[in-house]
Structure 1
Amino acid sequence: SDRLNTRNMLKRRHYNIGTNLDCLLCGQHVEETVEHLFFHCTFSKECWRLLNISWTVQGDRLTLVEILKAQHPR
């Protein structure tokens, strides 16, 4: 819903953030999007691992969250 100020979203809204859209958390040459930040970023993956959560399936973010909710009902 474009509520998280990712570099991708800020660029679309014409904020002056320069041309580098790379993820700041992992430092890889990957565009910082919501999907990347929560599901693909190496930093985030390590945080999820500490919570004993792994994103082993592919899909859009809503599907992934629904699967997680089914696996962890609390």
Structure 2
Amino acid sequence: SDRLNTRNMLKRRHYNIGSNLDCLLCGLHVEETVEHLFFHCTFSKECWWRLNICWATVGNRLDLVEQLKA
């Protein structure tokens, strides 16, 4: 619901964060979005793995959370 201050969201709200929207956690040249931070970021994947949580590789974020609940 646009509540997490990702670099993507801050740029859309015209915060002065510069032109680099890359993910700060994994260091890859990938735009930092909610989907990236929770489901694709290598840093986040390692954190989820340590909690014994494995996300599916496809689907939107609502579907992925619903699948995890099941």
* TM-score, normalised by the number of residues in structure 2: 0.97
Aligned length, in residue pairs? 70
Gaps of 5+ in 1: none
Ranges of 4+ aligned residues in structure 1 off by more than 2 Å: none
Give, in whole Å, the separation in 2 of the partners of 1:38 and 1:32.
Answer: 10
Gaps in structure 2 of 5+ consecutive residues: none
* Residue in structure 1 matched with residue 55 of structure 2 by the alignment: 55
Identity %: 84
CA contact (8 A) 2:10 2:17 kept: yes
Name the residue aligned to 1:41: 41
RMSD of aligned Cα (Å): 0.7
